[in-house]
Chain A
C-alpha cells in the first residue's frame, strides 16, 4: 500500500473550514465540532478504514478551545500528526490530542494579546480617529489593518504547522522570536492606548468660581498642570475598581448613573 499523503488541496480545505471554528460553540466541549469539521478533509483523505475514521472523528470531537487566529497553526500540526499516524502503525494516537491540549492554552494567550489586545486596538484607534469625523475611511482602515495580519497568521500558521510539525512552535520559542514579537506589539499597543486615553476620552469640567471678583476656571487650571488630566484620572479609577473585582456590568451601570448625576450637579 502506498503512503497516505495530504496534498495542498486538503490543506486549502482545512484553511477555509477553519473559519467556522466557533460555528457550533457549546459549553460542554466548546469549539470541538468546528475543529472536527475543519479536519474532515484530512481524515477522509488519510483513512479508508471505517474504524480508523470513527476513531479519528471521535478524537477531534474532544474538548477544544483557543483563539480562532491561531487555530489553523494547530490544525496544521494535527494534520501532520494524523498523516504520521496513518502511515506508522506504531504511532501513539493519543499524542495527537495531547499536543492539541498542550498548545491551545499558550497559543490562545499569545493570540489574544497580539490580536485582541494589540492589532485590534491599533486598527480601532486609527479607524475611530477617522470615523469620528464621519469619514468612511474609518471603518475601512479598521477592517484592513486588522485583517491583513489576521489572514497572514492564519495562512502561514497552517503551512508552518503542517510542514514543521510539533517542533515548529518549540523552535520559535527557543529563538525568542515570539517573545520579541510580543514585546514589540505590546509596546505599540500601550503607546496607542495612551494616545487614545488622551484624545478619545472626552472628559472636561465646566466648574467656575468667583473669588473676590476673579474668575477661576477649573478646567484651565487642570490643563496647566497636565493636559487631559481628567481622562487619565477616570481611566485609573476604573482600572483600580476592576482590580477590586467590580464587574463590568456594575461599572457600566455606575458610570451611566454617575454621568447623569454629575452633569445634573454641573460638575461634568
Chain B
C-alpha cells in the first residue's frame, strides 16, 4: 500500500503541475489521471471507464481567469483509486470525488496566497538584476503546488483505504444506486456550462443538429464531429468565397458572449 500511495501521490502531482509548468496538456483531466491510476492499481479498464464518467461530470469545470476551480486532480485521483480499491465502480468514485475536489480546492487557494510572498522576494531580486534569484522564486511555488495534492493523496490512500472501503460498504444500496443516477445527471452541469460558453442565438441550431443526428441517426461522436467539420467548412469557407468582398464577415461579430459567462464557481 505504501508504494501504491506514493505512486498515486505522484500521479496527482503530475496532474496539478500540468496547469502550472506543463502548459496545460490535459494531464490534469480525469480521463488521463483515470488511466494512470488504473495502471498503478493494476486495473486499467476500470480506471479508464471511471475516468470517462468523471470527465463527463467535470466537463465544464475550468480554470478561466482568476477564479480557482474545484480541484479535479485530487478529486479525480482519489475518487478513481477508492472506486477501484473498494470494487464499487462509478457511484463510489463520484460520491468521493465531488466533495474531495471542493475541499482540496482550498489548498490550491492557500498556495496561491502563499505565492504572494515569493512574488515580493522576486521583486527584490529584480532590483539587483539578480536573474538567478527571480528564477528561484519562480520555481518554489510549483513545489508547493505539487505538495498540495501529493500529501493529501498519499495520506488518504495510506491511512484511509481500509476505513473508506468499510464506510462505503456500510452505505445502503439504495443510496449507492441513487448516487449512480445522480452521476448520470451531473454531466448536465458541464454541458450547460459549455452551452453558456458557445451559445450565441444564431448558433443554437447547430446544437440541435448534433443532438438530432445522435438521437435519430444514431451517429457516434466521432462521426458527428467529422460531419460537423464538413458542415462548418461548407458554411464558412465554401459559401463565403462567392462574396469575397468586404462584407464577408457579417455575423461573427456578436461573439462577445463567447468567453465565459457570468457564472459563479464558488
- Contacts from A to B (Cβ < 8 Å): 18-30, 32-34, 36-37, 40, 43-44, 50, 53-54, 57-58, 61, 65, 67-69, 108-109, 112-113, 116-118, 120-129, 131-136, 138-139, 142-143, 146-147, 150, 154, 176, 179-180, 182-203, 226-228, 231-232, 234-239, 242-243, 245, 247-249, 251-252, 255-264, 268
B77, chain A: closest CB distance, angstroms: 14
* Contact A231:B66 (CB < 8 A) given known A113-B258, A121-B59: no
Q: Please tell me if the beta carbons of A231 and B188 are within 8 angstroms of each other in the complex.
A: yes
Give A142 to B59 CA distance when docked, in angstroms.
Answer: 13
Q: Please tell me if the beta carbons of A191 and B20 are within 8 angstroms of each other in the complex.
A: no
B119, chain A: closest CB distance, angstroms: 5
A57, chain B: closest CB distance, angstroms: 4
Q: Please tell me if the beta carbons of B252 and A191 are within 8 angstroms of each other in the complex.
A: no
Contact of A129 among B48, B174, B220, B236 (CB under 8 A): B220
B161 located at the interface, meaning its Cβ lies under 8 Å from any Cβ of chain A in the complex? no
Interfacial residues of chain B within 178-198, with CB under 8 A of chain A in the complex: 178-179, 181-189, 191-198
Contacts of A58 in B (CB 8 A): 123, 126-127
Using an 8 Å CB-CB cutoff, how does the interface string of B13-39 with A read, 1 for contact, 0 for none?
A: 000000111111110010110110000
Contacts of B255 in A (CB 8 A): 113, 179, 182
B102 located at the interface, meaning its Cβ lies under 8 Å from any Cβ of chain A in the complex? yes
Contacts of B185 in A (CB 8 A): 201, 203, 234, 255, 258-259, 268
Q: Please tell me if the beta carbons of A57 and B138 are within 8 angstroms of each other in the complex.
A: no
B76 located at the interface, meaning its Cβ lies under 8 Å from any Cβ of chain A in the complex? no
Give A231 to B213 CA distance when docked, in angstroms.
Answer: 15
Contacts of A264 in B (CB 8 A): 174, 178
Contact of B266 among A33, A129, A247 (CB under 8 A): A247
Contacts of B116 in A (CB 8 A): 26-28
Q: Please tell me if the beta carbons of A61 and B123 are within 8 angstroms of each other in the complex.
A: yes
Using an 8 Å CB-CB cutoff, how does the interface string of B206-243 with A read, 1 for contact, 0 for none?
A: 11111111111001111011011101110111001000
From B2-10, B50-58, B80-88, B148-156, give the one contacting chain A: B50-58
Q: Please tell me if the beta carbons of B134 and A36 are within 8 angstroms of each other in the complex.
A: yes
- Contacts from B to A (Cβ < 8 Å): 19-26, 29, 31-32, 34-35, 44-46, 48-49, 51-53, 55-56, 59-62, 64-66, 70, 98, 102, 112-113, 115-116, 118-119, 122-123, 126-129, 131, 134-135, 137-142, 145, 174-175, 177-179, 181-189, 191-199, 203-204, 206-216, 219-222, 224-225, 227-229, 231-233, 235-237, 240, 248-249, 251-253, 255, 258-266
Give A139 to B48 CA distance when docked, in angstroms.
Answer: 7
B245, chain A: closest CB distance, angstroms: 11
Most central of B26, B112, B134, B177 by chain A CB within 10 Å: B26
Q: Please tell me if the beta carbons of A129 and B228 are within 8 angstroms of each other in the complex.
A: no
Nearest-CB residue, chain B, relative to A60: B126
Q: Please tell me if the beta carbons of A176 and B248 are within 8 angstroms of each other in the complex.
A: yes
Give A240 to B59 CA distance when docked, in angstroms.
Answer: 18
Give A37 to B125 CA distance when docked, in angstroms.
Answer: 13
A11, chain B: closest CB distance, angstroms: 16
Apart from A26-B113, A192-B224, what are 12 other A-B pairs with CB-CB below 8 Å? A19-B21, A40-B135, A54-B127, A68-B24, A131-B48, A131-B49, A138-B31, A176-B248, A186-B198, A193-B195, A195-B221, A239-B196
A31, chain B: closest CB distance, angstroms: 10
